[in-house]
Structure 1
Amino acid sequence: MKSEFMLAFNQICAERGLPREVVLDALKTALVSAYRRNVGASAAQNVIAEIDEKSGKATIYVEKKVVAEVQDGRDEISLEEARRIDPEAEIGSTVMVESTPRDFGRIAAQTAKQVILQRIREAEREALFEDFSEREGELINGTVQSITPTHVSLNLGRTEAILPRSQQVPGERYTIHQRVRAYVLEVRRTSRGPQIIVSRSHKNMLRRLLELEVPEIYNGTVEIKAIAREAGARSKVAVAANQPGVDPVGSCVGMRGIRIQSIVNELGGEKIDVIEWHPETTAFIANALSPARVLTVFLEEGRTASVIVPDDQLSLAIGREGQNARLAAKLTGWRIDIKSVTEVLAEALALLERTDPREVLGEAADYLPTAQAILARHQEAKVPYAPEELRLLREIIEAVHEYRTRLQEAGKELPPVEEKEEEVEPAEVGEAERKREAAREEALARIPEIAYQLPLSVLELPTRVQSHLEKAGIENVGQIYERLVEGDEGLLRINGIGAKGLAEIKDRLEVLGAMPMEEPAAAEAETASEPE
């Protein structure tokens, strides 16, 4: 019959899921350490511990050297005593001698208790680490336990998880005992147990939510090709069907939008655009700019795509503060340059004036007068293009782009722009021009030198506005002031800068300080008001 010691020992190992042999070996090692401390044995001396599984009694055996005359009884033994243990013992040999101290039973009990408790703690920490390591990349549910400026602690039941501020959705607010679903980002092994880092802003959280809500994604009928996410604001998901006859976008949205709405609610109202992935890059980029309608897409060098959209779709394609274009670029992996039909058509017609239209357009040259009339009517009446007009304009724009591409591949340059002869101005006009130029030079002289040392980044402009300024060759604050010397038109002439962009630039300049110059228009007004 087994002793009470072994019954209790086996029960603890079974309940805690501890390997019996591992704990037994650890217990023996701890008993040896306890013996060394108790008697002051040297670390070089061989000491082993044995545990009788029937009685639970611990016995210590120490290796001693056989000598003729014993000087240190802790590691030496006489030949006579040695031969009682081992009849073949000789001077200079070693024998294992039982050296269990009298009160070692109490020491053994205390040591066993400490070792088993330590092993239980280590095993529980290891089990937790293994469990959550396997769940890395999955969703978990927790309850908010504490909130600090740097992170939110979630109670997962057996352990805690940390939701750092960098992984929180901007604008989300948490309350104690609130139920939260999060994505397991990383599981770290520490001396105090596993440290679980979770996220609610990672794009893979959106992927896992789609897998939960859309059975077609979970079983592989529909595949998520790419995700671009700006947590808390908007996300784009590109999906493709792996089986014919399956609508990937409809599968994700669900009947009356019930599937996607469930995910939107989970993410606190974050907008989600589900688009259909396409193997052709141009079609994929056009889909990625949804809900804007795209006329055509040209792929340039350096993974840059020029996207042409109708004028009434330009702001929609760019999105608020460039968000739609930015997400589309992340989704496709291409840098996207969006232009309006009017802008591109004007450039195309200017090129056709310097070349033979038949050489560029072929048979489509017959429609050139019609295109010019459409452009003139649009610029005058400010009405949107009709669908049939857009089809005609697209044909001309694509033909001109192909012509440019052929010239580039052949290493040729575009035909030069013909310079028009300047007409001689009347004396009055020339005098007014000289006054305006003098006022302009005076305003430029008032721009402080330090303005040219301040990069655009100090203004903290929206990404879209700063990008348009940089494309126009403006790199510092001083160059912005140079443009403003000409009045608002100096900045409004820059492609992509409108009334809203101008107001944002002026607001940022006011933060730096008052503008150090007067606009020439004001200077001219003062000159005109002076008595002759």
Structure 2
Amino acid sequence: MNGDFINALREIQKEKGISEEVIFDALESALISSYKKNFGASQNVEVEMDRTTGKVKVIALKEVVEEIDNEYLEISLDEAKQIDDKFQIGDFIKIEITPKDFGRIAAQTAKQVVIQRIRDAERDVIFDEFINRENEIITGQVQRISKSNVYIDLGKTEAILPPVEQIDGEEYNQGDRFKLLILEVKKTTKGPQIILSRSHPNLVKRLFELEVPEINDGIVEIFSISREAGSRTKIAVFSKDPNVDPLGSCVGFKGSRVKVIVDELKGEKIDIVIWSKDIEEFIANSLSPSKVLKVMANEKEKSAVVVVPDYQLSLAIGKEGQNARLAAKLTNWKIDIKSESQYKEECE
């Protein structure tokens, strides 16, 4: 071990962001194990490494006793007095016992420890960076696909897009770039595992925050989102400033803002509706693009009967009931849709 090794450690610290002291501590622990393995496990030893020169010393820790029972762990009072007259029974003495060829063992151990420490520290750095970014949006490139899992290159690390978080029908080919939601970051024995999502409603929320400055600035707020990934999303918004139109802000000039989001989601339809404190008005808005004639809300049961024109019934319900289902999720109310003629018949 020499100055070159110390310089190499400093380079590692700069490049990898790993504390020099962390590596030194790990090295000293590993060198104790190496010494015991090669020169006897019965001794109580410490390893000291000079932080400037890289020189390694093996130190035996021995207790001062009257009679020696174990020469590896004890030293007589007479011998101790020869080292320093101040030593008394029960004191501990440090004696250097560095073997001649210990430098070779130290160099081999150092290489293994440094490699392992670099791996561990890189994993810790990645975990610390991404654990604080859960629920954020990130851009990644498809690296490989294995057993329906899509592995995404995030630069410093690889993340996983499991089948359940993929958009049905969306193709993932090597080299494709996507915006994804960091859903969860977990610590595992193999390092941090980063779970991504393309299907979570919060991905749409984050995309609107990116594209709509008024949302990012807090002037326009997202009240709720309901999503069936790959097919359709409803998003309810409102404005804190009466002079700012929340719908216009989200749609953008000639639909420019919402188009960017639709393109990113590969053509997923997005209905932007206005949230209102008046639940009947909000329920009517939530069924967009259908026109609504009347809403009768039951606050106690959180259910509502909605009347729509006869020709708008299928539009209000949507294909396979999707529009009504998304509106119910958006408002968190049970919605029963009736055509005008159905409602009149029932009333009669």
TM-score under structure 1 length normalisation: 0.62
* Residue number in structure 1 paired with 2:126: 128
Question: Per-residue displacement from partner, 1:141-173 (whole Å, max 9, x unpaired)?
Answer: 222222234311112222111111111111112
Equivalent pair of 1:65/1:92 in contact (CA under 8 Å): yes
Which 4+ runs in 1 deviate beyond 6 A?
A: none
* Residue number in structure 1 paired with 2:212: 214
Q: Structure 1: which 5+ residue stretches go unaligned?
A: 350-532
- Say whether residues 1:51 and 2:45 are aligned partners: no
Distance 2:246 2:64 in 1: 85
Distance 1:309 1:91 in 2: 97
How many Å apart are 1:237 and its aligned residue?
A: 0.8
| Gap change, CA 1:310 and 1:15, over 3 Å in 2 | closer
Distance 1:209 1:92 in 2: 69
Larger RCO (alpha carbons 8 Å, 6+ apart): 2
Equivalent pair of 1:3/1:53 in contact (CA under 8 Å): no
Deviates more, 1:10-19 or 1:65-74: 65-74
How many Å apart are 1:117 and its aligned residue?
A: 2.1
Equivalent pair of 1:236/1:272 in contact (CA under 8 Å): yes
Question: Per-residue displacement from partner, 1:321-357 (whole Å, max 9, x unpaired)?
Answer: 11110000000000001112222222323xxxxxxxx
Q: How does 1:51-200 map to 2 (within 5 A)?
A: 51-67=49-65, 70=68, 72-90=70-88, 94-200=92-198
Distance 1:7 1:268 in 2: 51
Distance 1:76 1:194 in 2: 46
Equivalent pair of 1:61/1:97 in contact (CA under 8 Å): yes
Equivalent pair of 1:86/1:95 in contact (CA under 8 Å): no
Distance 1:214 1:62 in 2: 67
Equivalent pair of 2:302/2:333 in contact (CA under 8 Å): yes
How many Å apart are 1:210 and its aligned residue?
A: 1.1
Q: Structure 2: which 5+ residue stretches go unaligned?
A: none
Question: Per-residue displacement from partner, 1:157-194 (whole Å, max 9, x unpaired)?
Answer: 22111111111111112222222221111111122222
Q: Which amino acid aligns with 2:19?
A: P
Distance 1:332 1:22 in 2: 53
Distance 1:347 1:180 in 2: 51
* Residue number in structure 2 paired with 1:18: 18
Distance 1:145 1:134 in 2: 24
How many Å apart are 1:113 and its aligned residue?
A: 2.3
Question: Per-residue displacement from partner, 1:15-69 (whole Å, max 9, x unpaired)?
Answer: 3222222222222222222222222233xx5422222345422112212244556
* Residue number in structure 2 paired with 1:519: none
Question: Per-residue displacement from partner, 1:348-405 (whole Å, max 9, x unpaired)?
Answer: 23xxxxxxxxxxxxxxxxxxxxxxxxxxxxxxxxxxxxxxxxxxxxxxxxxxxxxxxx
Distance 2:291 2:312 in 1: 7
Distance 1:239 1:162 in 2: 31
Deviates more, 1:266-275 or 1:186-195: 186-195
* Residue number in structure 1 paired with 2:30: 30
Question: Per-residue displacement from partner, 1:279-300 (whole Å, max 9, x unpaired)?
Answer: 1101000110111111111122
Q: Which amino acid aligns with 1:344?
A: Y
Over the residues paired in the alignment, what is the CA RMSD in angstroms?
Answer: 2.1
Equivalent pair of 2:67/2:76 in contact (CA under 8 Å): yes
Which has the larger share of helix? Answer: 1
Distance 1:203 1:195 in 2: 21
Q: Which amino acid aligns with 2:12?
A: I
Distance 2:191 2:174 in 1: 24
Equivalent pair of 2:126/2:192 in contact (CA under 8 Å): yes
* Residue number in structure 2 paired with 1:310: 309
* Residue number in structure 2 paired with 1:284: 282
How many Å apart are 1:219 and its aligned residue?
A: 1.3
Distance 1:9 1:157 in 2: 24
* Residue number in structure 2 paired with 1:494: none
Distance 1:175 1:201 in 2: 17
Equivalent pair of 2:68/2:74 in contact (CA under 8 Å): yes
How many Å apart are 1:91 and its aligned residue?
A: 5.6
Structure of greater Rg: 1
Question: Per-residue displacement from partner, 1:259-290 (whole Å, max 9, x unpaired)?
Answer: 21221111111111111111110100011011
Question: Per-residue displacement from partner, 1:230-274 (whole Å, max 9, x unpaired)?
Answer: 111111111101111211111111222222122111111111111
SS at match of 1:136: coil
How many Å apart are 1:93 and its aligned residue?
A: 5.0
Which has the larger share of strand? Answer: 2
TM-score under structure 2 length normalisation: 0.92
Q: How does 1:313-328 map to 2 (within 5 A)?
A: 313-328=312-327
How many Å apart are 1:94 and its aligned residue?
A: 4.0
Aligned residues between the structures: 346
SS at match of 2:155: coil
